[in-house]
Amino acid sequence: ETGVTQSPTHLIKTRGQQVTLRCSSQSGHNTVSWYQQALGQGPQFIFQYYREEENGRGNFPPRFSGLQFPNYSSELNVNALELDDSALYLCASSLQGSGANVLTFGAGSRLTVL
Amino acid sequence: AQKITQTQPGMFVQEKEAVTLDCTYDTSDPSYGLFWYKQPSSGEMIFLIYQGSYDQQNATEGRYSLNFQKARKSANLVISASQLGDSAMYFCAMREYSGGGADGLTFGKGTHLIIQP
């Protein structure tokens, strides 16, 4: 089975720009979630998508938005980038209704905002 | 208030020794799960072990075991016979299920474990 893949692995943007990060879920998973991990910190939950709808959201402003596609892949969009948005963005997939709902993570996209 | 507390920012351990990584949590939800993840320098979070709040036995997965003390709200990870490849960041995380479990995982700040030969 293929794991979670994310692209791009690294990117640099300037303040005020917009960015789109992409994620392919693990085969057989129907739920995708996104996390932001600042340097030296644990990951923070951004939002979760199930059946192409956002069904959970952390404490992030509306300029963080997402999509889930019928093949369960996903995008994270961030508008009006700020310096504090510099972080590792982790995508995770899981199977809703599988009991523990263990997340399988990708290797992340490292965003630098200048 | 922090929901997950990991009090050891860094630890040095000799190869082949056992190591305990501390984690305490805070929740009023009776239904929750506790997870441990390993994050090597490559960045990918690797799932190690899970303990549900209603599980009667402590979870074990190979060299990993979880010392679950519910009354103390403690979920320490024990790694037996440590190996050089165990050097990484280790994160404790919790999911609360009563709201449907869609609120994601809450992570601690992590412990940087270094195994010395």
Segment B68-79, tens digit of pLDDT: 999 999 999 999
Residue B102: its pLDDT value, please?
A: 72
Tens-place pLDDT, residues B31-53: 999 999 999 998 899 999 999 99
A106 and B44: CB-CB below 8 Å? yes
Task: Please give the structure tokens belonging to residue B30.
Answer: 């009776």
CA B20/CA B92 separation, integer angstroms? 12
Backbone angles phi, psi at B86, to 5 degrees: -80, -10
B108 CB neighbours in chain A (<8 A) are 42
Q: Give every residue of chain B whose pLDDT is below 50, as ranges.
A: none
CA A91/CA A107 separation, integer angstroms? 8
A7 CB neighbours in chain B (<8 A) are none
Query: Which contacts qualify for A15-20: CB closer than 8 Å, 24 or more apart?
Result: A15/A81, A15/A82, A15/A83, A15/A113, A15/A114, A16/A80, A16/A81, A17/A81, A18/A77, A18/A78, A18/A79, A18/A80, A18/A81, A19/A77, A19/A78, A19/A81, A19/A111, A20/A75, A20/A76, A20/A77
Residue A28: its pLDDT value, please?
A: 87
